[in-house]
Structure 1
Amino acid sequence: MIKVNIGGVPEHFNLAWYLTLKNGEYKSEGINLRWHDYHGGTGAMCKGLRSGDIDLAVILTEGIVKDIIDGNPSKIVQTFVQSPLVWGIHTAGHSEFKTVDELRGKRVAISRYGSGSHLMAYVNAKNEGWDLEKDLKFEVIKNLDGAVEGLTNNVADYFMWEKFTTKPLVDDGTFNRVGTCPTPWPCFVIAVRNEFLENNETDVKTILDIINGTTEEFKDIPSIDRTIANRYDQQLEDVQEWLSITEWSQELIDEKTLSAVQNQLLDLDIIPEKWAYDKLTKIL
């Protein structure tokens, strides 16, 4: 039985992985798939792929594209979530800042450089017409818990994270959500280390077949909204709204979309150049 390490954020997007693991679907195919929670998000997973701590990652599209171009020896093999990620823009509950416009030039908390919270700060700044050099100041806070501490203790002024994940913190007054910023592309892809992919392509295909079988029918699972609400401490109506706007994918991100992602990252000076489609992806 082959051991395979996979990483992802411990959020509702990845419940399908938990369900397939719980059902023993990978072991029945001779694969010992081990899930690793990455509370630090995309930047931490990029580091895990580079070091070989994980073989696969369910990772933000913009983050892995940037890191592959920066030298991460991995390839995108599939889109996992086709719909955009809706990022909430948050200030501390006691903050004087009540609108996005007031955050121009203020300190933004990011989990780490190269993370989604870092890259989306640029996307939001561009959307707002801010100066990308002068109006963005970064404070590294590692993860969501670090953001709570950082904003509460005035280490940083605002923080961007997926809006449904942070909703309980908005509900209890820890954060104010002053705005949202959706990604202009499909939000999550599945990436694999090149070395692992070259030696275990059949196993990767099997893993994708299993997870795709669950995501295709995910919304039809009886009481899935209640399961998510209970497991992730969410309000039922929030989960139902999230399910209504979220679409999974069983296909590889297409060339046109990946080119658009790179155009945006290039325009924001996040990547130095565009890469060919086949240097970023692997068709299985």
Structure 2
Amino acid sequence: MTDLKVGGVPEHFNYPWYITLKNKEYNEHNINLRWKDYPGGTGQMCKALRDGSVDIAIVLTEGIIKDIADGNPSKIVQTFVETPLIWGIHVGAKSSFNKIEDLEHATIAISRFGSGSHLMAIVNAYNQGWNVQKLKFKVIGNLQGGIDALTTGEADYFMWEHFTTKPLVDHGTFRRINDCPTPWPCFVIAVRNEVLENNFDAVKKVLAIINAETKDFKKIDKIDQTLAKRYEQQLEDIQEWLKITEWNDGQPITKNLITRIQNEMIQFNVIQELKNSEDFIKNMNI
């Protein structure tokens, strides 16, 4: 039996993993796959890939590209979610900020440096024409940390996935000022190099199983109701999310895509130099 640890955010994007694990599909191929939630997001998972506490991670594209460029010994094996992530730009319910222009000199809550909430705050600032060198950040760990920081005034705004935070907007914890979509496919699957060297076939089988699940995921009977209940979402919000979300069916990630994303990240001042895109990816030929 091959032991593998997989991790991701505890959000609706990753429900296909829950289904395949619940059905014990990996065990049938002699793979003992164990899931771990990472509520701290991509920055937390990049650290886990580096220290070996996770083998496979479903991470934000921009975060893992930056971390591999900075020496993370992992490879992107494929895109997981093809469509952009919609980042909500949130302030506390009682905040005096009312429009995006008000936030130029405000303090930004981020889960970690190098996380999606950090990098997308830079992308948003660039889109607004602000000086990205002068952005002020407050590290808050995870979504709960963001809630606490905006409620107490330790930070002024916080960017997190639109639909995950929608209940907080509905309940009056946050106000959403605007949205900022990623300019690229949002989630990729990254695997530690050591695991690719030692368990290549097992990783390939894991990808084949999850891709088969995501291919028909939207056709599952009453999937919208299941997701709404599990993630405490309004049914119409889940239905809207399902409409705009597409998973990859196993197509390999291309060097051209990595190069394009790197070039945009250089433009946004997130990374400093273009690196060989082959160094970021491993084609599994599924």
**1:218-244: CA deviations, max 9, x gaps?**
000000000000000000000000000
Distance in 2, matches of 1:252 and 1:124, equals 29
User: 1:267: how far off?
Assistant: 1.7
The equivalent residue for 1:109 is: 109
Residue deviations 1:139-184, cap 9 Å, x none?
A: 0000000000000000000000000000000000000000000000
Once the two structures are superposed, what CA deviation does each residue of 1:178-227 show, in whole Å capped at 9, x if it has no partner?
Answer: 00000000000000000110111000000000000000000000000000
Q: What's 1:133 paired with?
A: 133
Corresponding residue of 1:7: 7
- Structure 2: distance between partners of 1:55 and 1:117: 23
How far does residue 277 in structure 1 lie from its aligned partner after superposition? 2.1
SS at match of 1:164: helix
Moved runs in structure 1, 4+ residues, more than 3 A? none
Per-residue displacement from partner, 1:8-57 (whole Å, max 9, x unpaired)?
A: 00000000000000000001110110000000000000000000000000
Match for residue 163 of structure 2? 164
**Pairs aligned (count):** 283
SS in 2 for 1:251: coil
Aligned to 1:190: 189
**In the alignment, structure 1 residue 259 sits paired with structure 2 residue 259:** yes
Partner of 2:225: 226
Q: Does residue 1:95 correspond to 2:84, yes or no?
A: no
Contact 2:253-2:283 within 8 A present in 1 as well: no
TM-score, with structure 2 as normaliser: 0.98
Partner letter of residue 221 of structure 1? I
- Structure 2: unaligned runs, 5 residues or longer: none
- The answer to whether the 8 A contact 2:84-2:183 is kept is yes
The aligned amino acid for 2:169 is V
Please tell me whether residue 248 in structure 1 is matched to residue 243 in structure 2.
Answer: no
State the distance in 1 between where 2:269 and 2:88 align. Answer: 23
* Equivalent-residue separation in structure 2 for 1:147 and 1:216 (angstroms): 34
1:190-209 equivalences under 5 Å are 190-209=189-208
1:218 counterpart letter in structure 2? F
Could you tell me which residue of structure 1 aligns to residue 29 of structure 2?
29
What residue identity is the alignment partner of 2:24?
A: G
Gapped regions of structure 1 (runs ≥ 5):
none
Q: Which one-letter code corresponds to 1:75 in the other structure?
A: K
1:281 is aligned to 281
Cα distance in 2, alignment partners of residues 14 and 94 from structure 1: 32
Pairing of 1:49-68 with structure 2 (within 5 A): 49-68=49-68
The one-letter code matched in structure 1 to 2:89 is I
**Fraction of identical pairs, as percent:** 59
Following TM superposition, by how much is the alpha carbon of 1:254 offset from its aligned partner in structure 2, in angstroms? 2.1
Shift of 1:71: 0.4
Q: Say whether residues 1:78 and 2:78 are aligned partners.
A: yes
Q: Distance in 2 between matches of 1:270 and 1:90?
A: 22
Secondary structure, counterpart of 2:155 in structure 1? coil
Distance in structure 1 (CA, Å) of the matches to 2:275 and 2:21:
35
Quick one: distance in 2 between partners of 1:211 and 1:118?
29
CA deviations on 1:222-276 (whole Å, 9 max, x unpaired) are 0000000000000000000000000000222222221111011112222222122
* CA root-mean-square deviation: 0.7
Asked whether the equivalents of residues 60 and 116 of structure 2 are also in contact (C-alpha less than 8 Å), the reply is yes
* Aligned counterpart, 1:120: 120
Residue 69 of structure 2 is matched in structure 1 by 69
Q: Give 1:264's aligned amino acid.
A: E
Secondary structure in structure 1 of the residue aligned to 2:163: coil
Q: Please state whether the residue corresponding to 1:4 is helix, strand or coil.
A: strand
Counterpart CA distance in 1 for 2:99 and 2:256 is 34
